[in-house]
């Protein structure tokens, strides 16, 4: 695909300086860009790279108007602009419209006439696939499952029965939506399964990474609100609510009935206890363990730096004795205060 700088500005806005007819076929980093590619600078410390780049054009912040003689687009947010240009030039391949002969689609399923159903797909009774959506090879939609318009389900996605995905969602390969929540009742030394009768409801403009799993609710629904972005290998347990536009990095685990606020950011490998609430706008650092509710937005971190094993063992022993050490220090401080008072009272 090729597009001119003038066409980019007409589509995405910004101020064009220089040759509007310059053809752009791809985005690239400044140090590897060629004459038919466009790069970007979002921070002033990288402006020096403009002197040696071979890019045909660049995207710059508005205050860098005179940083280069190259054709350039000025915008308040160069990184976002670059992302949009990349999205335009790198649209995912789309299979032919229609249902592949090897797909198995229930007679009463409702498939939009312009949807794409790839090879090996299985779609259950009463399921719905919206306009222009793509269901990748070997994916499975259970009975009464619903996929909105303009969605992309990559190969081998599983959407269990009665679960719903809104419009413009992207589900990557291997993700599982609607598996049973982890619920068992003890019974005379054994475990008896508790039926998980809720659903998973996924909002609009959500992206779910590869091999991420979201459990259906035990009674009520598990809810992923609009604009949420989930990385790979995340587990979300039953009855969790994740607020709109929250972003969660890979390998995070969220236990049952936790409620995550809107516009939160959660770093990789964080662990969230169940039945707690996290305020809107909260930031949780990577590897952090959250054991209780966070009613006030802020940045929370609990990770410890690594060390050599023998050093770690010694420190672990000290940590087990912290309470005793604190008590001894308080006793010593009390005794020191008594001695100081005695000294001051003597003539």
User: Is the CB of residue 79 less than 8 Å from the CB of residue 60?
Assistant: no
**Rounded (10°) CA dihedral 127, 133, 139, 142:** -10
Lowest mean pLDDT across 160-169, 287-296, 305-314: 305-314
Question: Using the 8-state DSSP alphabet, how is residue 293 labeled?
Answer: -
User: Is the CB of residue 270 less than 8 Å from the CB of residue 250?
Assistant: no
Residue 319 has pLDDT above 80, yes or no: yes
Q: What is the mean pLDDT of residues 253-280?
A: 98
Q: Give 304's pLDDT tier (boundaries 50, 70, 90).
A: confident
User: Is the CB of residue 131 less than 8 Å from the CB of residue 111?
Assistant: no
Residue 167 has pLDDT above 90, yes or no: yes
Catalytic residue, chosen from 235, 238, 309, 318, is: 238
Residue 44 CA to residue 34 CA, distance in Å, equals 22
Q: What is the mean pLDDT of residues 288-317?
A: 92
Extract the tokens encoding 167.
């419009």
Contacts of 40 by beta carbon, 8 Å cutoff, 6+ apart: 27, 30, 58, 59, 60, 78, 79, 81, 82
* Overall pTM surpassing 0.85 (yes/no): yes
Residue 180 has pLDDT above 80, yes or no: yes
3.10.580.10, 3.30.420.40, 3.30.390.30, 2.160.10.10: which CATH number matches 98-300?
A: 2.160.10.10
By three-state DSSP, how is residue 50 classified?
helix
Q: Provide, rounded to the nearest whole percent, the portion of the chain with pLDDT above 90.
A: 90
Extract the tokens encoding 19.
């040759």
Q: Give 1's pLDDT tier (boundaries 50, 70, 90).
A: confident
Q: What is the mean pLDDT of residues 182-187?
A: 96
User: Is the CB of residue 233 less than 8 Å from the CB of residue 250?
Assistant: yes
Q: What is the mean pLDDT of residues 279-289?
A: 97
Does the annotation count 245 as an active-site position? no
Q: Give 122's pLDDT tier (boundaries 50, 70, 90).
A: very high
The predicted structure's pLDDT at residue 347: 66
Residue 319 CA to residue 339 CA, distance in Å, equals 30
Q: What is the mean pLDDT of residues 180-196?
A: 97
The predicted structure's pLDDT at residue 66: 95
Residue 320 has pLDDT above 90, yes or no: no
Q: Give 82's pLDDT tier (boundaries 50, 70, 90).
A: very high
- For the chain, the structural domain boundaries read 3-89, 98-300, 309-345
Q: What is the CA radius of gyration of the chain?
A: 28
Residue 3 has pLDDT above 80, yes or no: yes
The predicted structure's pLDDT at residue 109: 98
Q: What is the mean pLDDT of residues 295-317?
A: 90
Domain boundaries 3-89, corresponding CATH code? 3.40.1390.10
Q: How far is CA 219 from CA 46, 130, 165, in A?
A: 53, 27, 19
Q: Give 276's pLDDT tier (boundaries 50, 70, 90).
A: very high
- Alpha helix positions (H), the chain: 5-12, 78-89, 309-320, 322-345
Q: What is the mean pLDDT of residues 71-76?
A: 98
């Amino acid at each position: 695909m090729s597009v001119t700088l003038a066409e980019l500005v007409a589509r995405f806005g910004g101020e064009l300086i220089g040759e509007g007819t310059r053809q752009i076929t791809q985005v690239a980093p400044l140090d590897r860009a060629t004459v038919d590619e466009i790069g970007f600078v979002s921070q002033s410390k990288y402006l020096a790279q403009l002197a040696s780049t071979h890019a045909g054009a660049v995207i710059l912040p508005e205050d860098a108007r005179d940083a280069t003689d190259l054709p350039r687009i000025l915008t308040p947010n160069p990184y976002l602009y670059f992302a949009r240009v990349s999205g335009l030039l790198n649209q995912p391949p789309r299979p032919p419209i229609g249902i592949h002969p090897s797909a198995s689609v229930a007679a009463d399923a409702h498939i939009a006439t312009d949807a794409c159903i790839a090879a090996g797909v299985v779609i259950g009774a009463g399921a719905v696939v919206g306009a222009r959506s793509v269901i990748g090879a070997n994916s499975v939609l259970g009975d009464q499952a619903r996929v909105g318009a303009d969605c992309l389900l990559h190969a081998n996605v599983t959407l269990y029965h009665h679960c719903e995905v809104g419009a413009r969602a992207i589900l990557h390969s291997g993700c599982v939506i609607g598996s049973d929540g982890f619920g068992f009742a003890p019974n005379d030394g054994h475990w008896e399964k508790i039926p998980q009768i809720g659903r998973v409801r996924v909002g609009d403009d959500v992206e779910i990474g590869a091999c991420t799993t979201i459990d259906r609710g035990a009674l009520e629904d598990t809810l992923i609100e609009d604009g949420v972005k989930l990385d790979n290998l995340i587990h979300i347990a039953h009855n969790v609510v994740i607020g709109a536009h929250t972003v969660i990095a890979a390998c995070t685990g969220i236990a049952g009935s936790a409620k995550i606020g809107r516009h939160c950011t959660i770093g990789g490998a964080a662990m969230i206890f169940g039945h707690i609430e996290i305020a809107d706008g909260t930031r949780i650092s990577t590897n952090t363990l959250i054991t209780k509710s966070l009613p006030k937005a802020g940045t929370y971190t609990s990770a410890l730096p690594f060390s050599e094993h023998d050093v770690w063992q010694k420190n672990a022993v000290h940590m087990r004795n912290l309470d005793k050490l604190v008590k001894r220090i308080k006793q010593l401080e009390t005794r020191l205060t008594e001695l100081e008072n005695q000294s001051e009272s003597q003539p």
